A and B are shown apart, each in its own frame.
Chain A
Amino acid sequence: MPHLGKIEYKPISVRELFLEMKNLSELMIDLAYSAALFNDKELAEDVLELENRVDTLTYLLEMEIMIATRDPDDAEALAGVSKVASAADKISDAAADIAAIVTQNIGVHPLISEVFEKVEERLTRAKVSKASILVDKQIGELDLAARMGVDIIAIRRNKDWIINPKDTEPIKIDDVLIARGAPSGVKEFKALAEGKLRKLED
């Protein structure tokens, strides 16, 4: 069970909250499907952690609305925002339900994973080791998409998540990188991050 603490009000613009919810929901769902279809417990746990963050965002969004509502006109304009918060919550619950297929050991048929692997890109998570040649490189200069058909879609750094990191984002030791790509590329990428492969091939 995650630790449930008080959520403190922070002034964040509604646009920023919407944008972050959009990015988080997309990431969570991608991670959740990959976790369920490839029976990956670590990815499933990331999903549950991100769910916590969406909860915080929906609280903050509701707080923004409450502060701003003073009369019926305000209420009419802002009720929709509250609906969006509840929809975002439903999406993150759904992602957590998908992850639960793994964490509750239900799983999907292994042959499904096998077939799925052939048609879909897969996600992987790799922790950057001290020995990795990726350390202190910016994502853009690695040219992973051209080299091995892999894209880094998120970075987990300590307790923070950087979703859709920019090309200028440097990779640091102990970062957990979430990447998407074809199975062979993803394997190569994981070996690079973990320091088992020390050369970037063209």
Chain B
Amino acid sequence: MSPKLQKKFEEIVERFVELKDTSELMMDLAYSSLLLNSKKLAEDVQELEEHVDKLHTDFELLVLSSGFKPEEAKSFLGLIRLGVVTEKIADAAAEIAEVVLRGIKPHPVLKLAIEEAEETVTYVQVTENSMFVDKTLREVHIPEETGMWVLAIRRRGKYIRPKPHTKIESGDVLIASGYAEGEEDLKKLASP
């Protein structure tokens, strides 16, 4: 493979991973916003929706301008389809968030589902002196230490889908859910 082509493919994959991670994160956050009845989380999903539209357009333009040969058309069609479907997932996630934003009226059927959910969502900023800084999520054992589960990381205006090897940086905002007791523990560790 020519270095130029290799670079092009790397760029396509990079954009696609961002698109895919964002839509998966949206889905995760949308369901969490519903289960925790959190309008703030639902707003994050809506914000991400706009971002996905832009990512999707960039991805399509990149694929279409990659100068593929006619015999390669099919495998590039596969990529275009992946993009389209990924955007659909993001749309569906935004629809779930919309239900939360419109307000959920109390009803017996929803009682246990939403109103009485004992878990909360918390947003905690990681300060410079935190033991989390420069460690991966796998290393810091947040669920074991605090009972809180990191749903997303907000870094310089971007949302990151947490993976075990994701490194935490100073200034990150951890978006986490769990029982209220864990909130204080998490705050103590993140911003001592």
> Which residues of A are interface residues toward B (Cβ below 8 A)?
13-15, 18-19, 21-22, 25-26, 29-30, 33, 36, 64-65, 68, 73-74, 76-78, 80-81, 83-84, 86-88, 90-91, 93-95, 97-98, 101, 106-112, 114-116, 119-121, 145, 149, 151
Contacts and interface: CB of A to CB of B under 8 A. Distances in A.
B115 to A, nearest CB: 10
Interface residues of B, number: 54
Contacts, number: 143
A106 B32 CA distance: 34
Nearest to A106: B78
B113 A13 contact: yes
Given A15-B35, A18-B35, A26-B24, A84 B96 contact: yes
Contacts of B55: none
Contacts of A21: 31
A109 B9 contact: yes
B95 A112 contact: no
A80 B1 CA distance: 51
B79 A84 contact: no
Interface in B7-49: 9-10, 12-14, 16-17, 20, 24, 27-28, 30-32, 34-35
Which 3 A-B residue pairs are closest in the complex by CB-CB distance? A77-B107, A15-B113, A22-B31
Interface of B: 1, 5-6, 9-10, 12-14, 16-17, 20, 24, 27-28, 30-32, 34-35, 72, 74-79, 81-82, 85-86, 88-89, 91-93, 95-96, 98-99, 102, 104-110, 112-114, 117, 138, 163-164
Q: Chain B at the A interface: mostly helix, strand, loop or mixed?
A: helix
B107 A74 contact: yes
A94 B92 contact: yes
A77 B110 contact: yes
Nearest to B81: A101
A87 B45 CA distance: 14
B79 A91 contact: no
Looking at A36, A84, A119, which has the most chain B CB atoms within 10 Å of its CB? A84
Contacts of B16: 116
Contacts of A107: 74-75, 78
B164 to A, nearest CB: 7
Given A22-B32, A111-B9, 9 more contacts: A18-B31, A18-B35, A26-B28, A74-B107, A78-B110, A109-B9, A109-B75, A110-B75, A111-B1
A16 B79 CA distance: 35
Contacts of B108: 68
Contacts of A68: 107-109
B136 to A, nearest CB: 11
A119 B18 CA distance: 11
B187 to A, nearest CB: 26
Given A26-B24, A115-B9, A116-B13, A77 B88 contact: no
